[in-house]
A and B are shown apart, each in its own frame.
Chain A
Amino acid sequence: MDEVEKTDLIFVIGSNTTEAHPVAALGLKKAVRYNGTKLIVADPRRIDLCRFADLHLGHRPATDVALINGILKVIIDEDLINKEFINERTEGFEDVRNLLSRFTIDEAERITGVPKEKIVKAARMYAGAKNALIYYTMGITQHSNGTGNVLSLANLVLATGKIGREGSGLNPLRGQNNVQGACDAGAISEYYPGYQKVNDEKNREKFERLWGAKLSEKIGLTATEMTEAADAEKIKAMYVMGENPLISDPDINHTRAAFSKIEFLVVQDIFMSETAELAHVILPASCFAEKDGTFTNTERRVQRVRKAVEPPGEAMEDWQIIMKISNAFGCKMEYEHPSQIMDELALSMPQCAGISFDRLNGLGIQWPCPDKAHPGTRTLHKERFTRGKGLFKPVEYIPPRELPDKEYPFTLTTGRMLTHYHTGTMTRRSAGTNEHVKEGYVEISPEDANRLNIKNGEKIRVSSRRGQIDIKAKVTTMVSPGIVFIPFHFKEAAANVLTSRELDPIAKIPELKSCAVKIEKK
């Protein structure tokens, strides 16, 4: 994250950085104010970061591919591409050039609502910068075409050669303390630890040896697919540790119905969450302050978590609970301390082979760290990409699955706000933050509010094809006419009652950032 000091331009798209990653945003603000770094912000909302931006592209929700393709189109037409990089380090550029030869900047303007002068300006600024960093978060990925959004950004980066050195690159900011680590450690359906595919025979044999058990060759279900399978009564039992899909899933009325069908649900958590209420067994677990272990941050930095207090009552550390269940089930686990688990983890994934607890002081270690003497790795893709050459993949704009219409004329987009976190399990049970922002709200533009005769603070009804909530109106110029925004932390007015279950076909990520809603006075 400190690379931000060494760049000439920052392009933030689909990330409300100052609210969702406030401390990462400090670096961006500092670079702009003190280093003269240029900042482009692309977001349908006029987020706080726009105050610091040289250029704000307020594109309509879910039109990211059209915006990025528009920018890339200008870069190609004006010959601002990095030919040397394209020739030496990439393949497939012609496919993108061909696709974009059929695309015009006027089309980009029509789809995104961003004036073409701004698109041209963004293209010249980005391509003209010696080094440029792109930051994105769920505003890019949580779409039915989320994979397309990321690929279009990758095309932009490859065409201009802005990757693989300090001060340049494409950086997703991870939303949760250890979402990076959970992926690394294999808590994803298609990979063993270290992104080793489960349907590869060699990998399977390796893990069968390491774990001394026969393993399934079938790729598993993702979280969203498990909910669908529970609804279809194909998933009969679930073990849920520290997750609350009944608030965080899209279309939670459907999630509730699906989870209610599960024959046996065990939930391991620190509070009686909405999901725990449906459980057959609840196991009291521990929070971050009550255990030893490691978290891996958004820049792949493995850092040491240290136990400060004992869990309350009979609650136990999560690793001890999993071990108890596993041993009773007949899958033997004998760890006396999390450091021993890390040692096994290091054996299982080459990226972390050199990491052990005794090395994790201060700033921790950024993987890949292949051996005990290795200091860790700051920048990936320096000489080569993981697959060898960087591959261009032409991406066409596909409209979101659900567009506003006569009955549901508004586009709803969801996200986080500064004071609260995710499903509110922690921040809404902390006195200060809970008291500071007590309830949810829907941001609506002054134009729309005026037209519908809605006053700031008035309780209004927001409905989609999936459900309805009553929520306080917040009249603000943050959003443009036709767009409304609801933070998803508040169970009493849960944004995810409204959102849609449409999935990106590849990443299986739901389209949480765009659906159609209507607004009525109560």
Chain B
Amino acid sequence: MKVIIDNKEIIANEGETVLEAAKRAGLKIPTLCHHPRLSNYGGCRVCVVEVGGMNRLITSCTTPVSDGMVVTTDSPKIRETRKTLLELILSDHPNDCMTCDKTGECALQDLAYEYGANVKENPYDGAMRQYPTEDKNQFIIRDFSKCILCAKCTRVCDEVRAVGAIDIMKRGFYAKVATSFDGVLDCEFCGNCVDVCPVGSLTEKLAKGKGRTWETGKVDTICGYCGVGCGITLHIKDNTVIKVTPTEKESVNNGALCVKGKFAYDFINNKDRLTRPLIKKDDKFVEASWDEAIDYTVKRLKEIKEKYGSNSIGGLSSARCTNEENYIFQKFIRAGIGTNNVDHCARY
């Protein structure tokens, strides 16, 4: 079917929403609660657009396209409405961007800037939500006063993870994302809720204060835990991995990770890392240079090969290492040492 969005004729698919059709056509409509992998919600209303023949603005994320539909995504009326919506959200949102970990990657901050929302003089009086921050677990800090009730976290927890650890309780001003009986968070700690949170309501404990998004380098790689091979992005500052997020590029994991892939990365900078070669002398390990360690190793391997033959030597390669490392390891054992005694832990 044909629709016209911002004077552009677009071939839209049956069942597609206005937001999806516009996005496919390369048009940008702002939103806080929409996520392509989650059900359509229509909670934040920021994606409102004008549709020809309709008096009021409609939310593009929940409105299916229809043949011949004429849509406008930007006009003074739309801009004014979005600005008001943002100011309403900000009227009950702590104005503490300077210390918030989300600064620089906060969708609310970006839109407030883009629409020139009046933050300095809050135009809306009234009570603000006061909640203590909940961080009794090791991974996730939950600051409910910053929550904009977009329900991305509750939807990802239910629709993607099938865990359902959280949901929205109560109504209106008292609405709050909560666990059952509003207790502390006790779940699988996959961290997917943090990954989809558009604001600073859910942040990572391990990454707190470690660096802003514009200070970090980002490297796409593959998770080092199980055999699923999830695509991850490592966030780097000062030669340190300060955070891990699921890659935004095409990947086998489609934006999901587990507790290990997401949060078990700081072993990389653990103080117990081995940093120098060690040689055992009189039952104690003594630091050595690389040359000493290699020379000694090769000398001993040669002696043993000479004395007992190649088959008295074995090599255990590693399922943790790369294909390239495994390849040259077995090559060394086979072509160098001269034995097929090379294996790894595939069996346990």
Contacts and interface: CB of A to CB of B under 8 A. Distances in A.
- Same complex for A and B? Answer yes
B273 A270 contact: yes
Contacts, number: 469
Given A279-B280, A432-B266, A324 B335 contact: no
A264 B301 contact: yes
Nearest to A187: B317
Give the secondary structure class of B's interface: mixed
Interface in A219-275: 219-224, 226, 229-230, 234-243, 245, 248-250, 263-264, 266, 269-272
**Most interface-central of B224, B240, B307, B310 (chain A CB within 10 A):** B224
Interface stretch (A84-92, A155-163, A210-218): A210-218
A433 interface: yes
Given A26-B160, A182-B318, 20 more contacts: A24-B228, A177-B226, A179-B346, A189-B342, A198-B334, A238-B315, A243-B344, A271-B272, A279-B280, A281-B278, A289-B221, A297-B228, A306-B221, A309-B239, A319-B325, A326-B332, A329-B298, A431-B206, A432-B263, A510-B347
19 contacts: A22-B258, A30-B160, A178-B227, A182-B323, A187-B329, A212-B335, A215-B340, A241-B329, A243-B345, A271-B274, A287-B267, A288-B320, A295-B224, A297-B227, A297-B229, A305-B221, A318-B325, A325-B332, A436-B259
B133 interface: no
B226 A20 contact: yes
Nearest to B206: A432
A430 interface: yes
A319 B241 contact: no
Interface stretch (B43-51, B80-88, B113-121, B248-256): B248-256
Interface string B15-27: 0000000000000
A30 B254 CA distance: 13
B326 A185 contact: yes
A216 B313 CA distance: 13
Contact of B274 (A189, A270, A294): A270
A432 to B, nearest CB: 4
Interface stretch (B53-61, B99-107, B173-181, B287-295): B287-295
A313 B241 contact: no
Nearest to B218: A308
A280 B347 contact: no
A301 to B, nearest CB: 6
A280 B138 contact: no
Contacts of A175: 226-227
A152 interface: no
B252 A297 contact: yes
Interface of B: 137-139, 160-162, 188-190, 205-206, 217, 219-231, 234, 236, 239-241, 249-253, 256-261, 263-270, 272-280, 285, 290, 293-298, 300-302, 304-305, 307-308, 310-348
A403 interface: no
Contacts of B160: 26, 30
A439 interface: no
A287 B161 CA distance: 29
A333 B328 contact: yes
B224 A23 contact: no
Given A177-B223, A241-B316, A236 B304 contact: yes
Given A193-B327, A237-B300, A281 B277 contact: yes
Interface residues of A, number: 149
**Most interface-central of A52, A239, A509 (chain B CB within 10 A):** A239
A238 B316 contact: yes
A211 B331 contact: yes
Nearest to B274: A284
B316 A243 contact: yes
A118 interface: no
**Most interface-central of B162, B229, B249, B339 (chain A CB within 10 A):** B229
Interface of A: 1-2, 20-24, 26, 29-30, 33, 52, 138, 141-142, 173-190, 192-193, 198, 207, 211-216, 218-224, 226, 229-230, 234-243, 245, 248-250, 263-264, 266, 269-272, 276, 279-285, 287-291, 293-299, 301-310, 312-316, 318-319, 322-326, 328-331, 333, 335, 338, 341-342, 344-345, 348, 362-363, 418-421, 425-427, 429-433, 435-436, 507-510, 512
**Most interface-central of A138, A187, A326, A348 (chain B CB within 10 A):** A187
**Most interface-central of B205, B227, B280, B345 (chain A CB within 10 A):** B227
Contact of B137 (A178, A190, A315, A436): A436
B341 A189 contact: yes
B86 to A, nearest CB: 33
Given A23-B258, A297-B228, A421-B225, A325 B328 contact: no
B335 A331 contact: yes
A236 B341 CA distance: 12
**A-B pairs with the 3 shortest C-beta distances?**
A313-B275, A297-B229, A293-B322
Nearest to A295: B222
